[in-house]
Amino acid sequence: MDIAVMRRLPRPAMDRLDQAGTVRVWPLDRDLTDEELLTEALEAEVLVTVLGNRIDARVLAARPKLRLVANFAVGVNNIDLDAARSRGVIVTNTPGVLTEATADLAMALLLASARRLVEGDRLVRRTGRAPWAPEFHLGFDLTGKVLGIFGLGRIGAAVARRAAPFGLRTIYHNRRPAPALEAELGARYASFETLLSESDFLSINAPLTEETRHCFGRPEFQAMKETAIIINTGRGPIINESDLAEALETGLIAGAGLDVYEFEPRVAPRLLNLENVVLAPHIGSATREVRNRMGHLVADNVIAFTQGRRPPNQVV
Ligand code: GLV
């Protein structure tokens, strides 16, 4: 079976894919453009994709041989699931293995933003000094504050677990309340309005869907506390990035910690000029251990498919 790999995966996964079929790897160290996805000779039954590959209805239509899209990510918003379903193309993802690492990064962004760590690092490097003074470089406490989680799924719950020992109280907003998690985490369900008005830290852990796209824009930032900090390790387009830049410029909210961006891989230039935003380069799952495990899940899915079994992480 022909397997086209859009970005070289960690070695153990590549070795297993090599056993499963004839593997061809996109030779360039960058994602294929939309145009290349249509025109490059990638005739294969299996396509191993990454987030930067947009597998839309046109791409699926142009590749009638395609039977499986194995995404090297838990999020599948880069793939048109309806179009895949209607063509009988299976889509798989890599859930579970990146939960803890992504929650770690959300906490890292929360702490870095609350204590203005990256801004402080820039200052020390620029001046060669660490000038202690009673009111120098003040940030915010975590203890006694409210953490709002938008999207209490696997990753959101892992963030809440990390937040409790820091003295944060968790509230959350989901489409539906999650009573079992509430009991375990001591978290309280909140309406979206309450989430906005009560959160001192607001962590976005929802997937990108038509419902969550641009859920956070100017009206939402206006409804938040002026001292609030927003953290996004979910997907960039959940936030209207130009409204966020404006909110940070005008002090509607105090800060932001971002790992994902509306127009990845580009980051809005206005954000680059702001001190009150911490910018990570989409590294939620970027630990050695996790990327290896993600590779193994991709291999598990591809191998199951080539052997005529149902892939363990089938989304569609
Ligand atoms: C990373 O962003 C993922 O969805 O796995």
Which protein residue has the closest C-alpha to ligand 1 atom 1?
73
Residue in 211, 166, 168 with CA at minimum distance from that of residue 192? 211
Residue 234's pLDDT is 98
In CATH, what class is 99-279? alpha beta
Look up tokens 């970027």; give the residue: 286
| Ligand 1 and 74: CB distance under 6 A | yes
Q: pTM to 2 decimals? A: 0.96
Cα separation, 38 vs 42, in Å, equals: 9
Cα separation, 298 vs 242, in Å, equals: 35
Domains 2-97+288-306 and 99-279 are alike in CATH topology: yes
The fold of the 2-97+288-306 domain, in CATH, is: Rossmann fold (3.40.50)
Cα separation, 40 vs 121, in Å, equals: 44
| Ligand 1 and 234: CB distance under 6 A | no
Residues in a beta bridge with 290: none
| Ligand 1 and 255: CB distance under 6 A | no
Cα separation, 228 vs 162, in Å, equals: 19
The residue whose CB lies within 8 Å of the most ligand 1 atoms, and thus the one to mutate among 48, 53, 74, 287, is: 74
User: Is the distance from CB of 20 to CB of 298 less than 8 angstroms?
Assistant: no
Q: Give residues with Cβ within 8 angstroms of 145, minimum separation 6.
A: 167, 168, 169, 200, 201
Q: What sign does the dihedral 39-41-44-46 (CA atoms) show?
A: negative
User: Is the distance from CB of 82 to CB of 314 less than 8 angstroms?
Assistant: no
Per-10-residue mean pLDDT of the chain, 316 residues long, equals 96 98 95 90 90 96 95 97 98 98 98 98 98 97 98 98 98 95 95 98 97 98 98 98 98 98 97 98 98 98 98 98
Residue 41's pLDDT is 66
Q: Give residues with Cβ within 8 angstroms of 107, minimum separation 6.
A: 159, 162, 163
Every domain of the chain and the residues it spans: 2-97+288-306, 99-279
